[in-house]
Every structure is written in structure tokens, then in C-alpha cells.
Amino acid sequence: MPRTSILVENGWRRLEGWDRNAPHVTRLPNRQWLIEGNHGWVDHIFRLRKEKKTIYVSEPYQLDETGLESLFLLTTQGWHVHISGDSEHYPGWTLQIEVSRERE
């Protein structure tokens, strides 16, 4: 069972997409958010929320050098990264990458 499913069972809410506080996100004039650039790991995204904590989740089909470098850079900026082979989107074919400001 994916870790995110366990978190939802323990009171975390699943919300579609990311918000303005997610990594690599900028605000557009029409009050929408855009994930800038090709970071090699952002695909099939959602977020989990509990109280004031948020976990940003991506479930890409692959993780290449670009993605690993991007995730490493996030860790140097204070983000925590968790990578798992258990995913909700197309299990067995996608990875699950969680990014948060605090460890859960």
C-alpha cells in the first residue's frame, strides 16, 4: 500500500494539484499557478494536507539524472524528499516522490 494511502487513513486530506508553496511554482496573472521548467520528476501530482502541514506528491514513470539533480537541489534548500516504488497512479509502473518542508 502506498505511504500516501496510509497517511490519508490517518487524517491527511488528499487535494488535487499543487499550490503556491510547492517547489518550482510561480503565480500567473490570472491567479493560477504554474510549475516552471522540466525538472525530470514532476508528473501526476497531488498534495496531502493536515493542519498546517503539506506534502507535495509526484508519481512519474521514471526518474533520470535531471530529476535526481533537481531533487538533490531541493534538499539543499531545506526540503525533505522521500522516494518509493509504491504509487497510486499505475502501481508498478510509476514511482512516488514526496516533497515536504517537515519530515512526516
> What tens digit of pLDDT does each residue of 61-99 get?
999 999 999 999 999 999 999 999 999 888 889 999 999
Higher pLDDT, 44 or 29: 44
Q: How confident is residue 9, by pLDDT bands cut at 50, 70 and 90? A: very high
Given its phi and psi angles, is residue 47 left (phi above 0), alpha (psi -120 to 50 degrees) or beta? beta
CA distance linking residue 17 with residue 33, whole number of Å: 10
Q: Report yes or no: 62 and 42 within 8 Å, Cβ to Cβ.
A: no
Q: Report yes or no: 53 and 100 within 8 Å, Cβ to Cβ.
A: yes
What are the sequence ranges of the domains in the chain?
Answer: 3-100
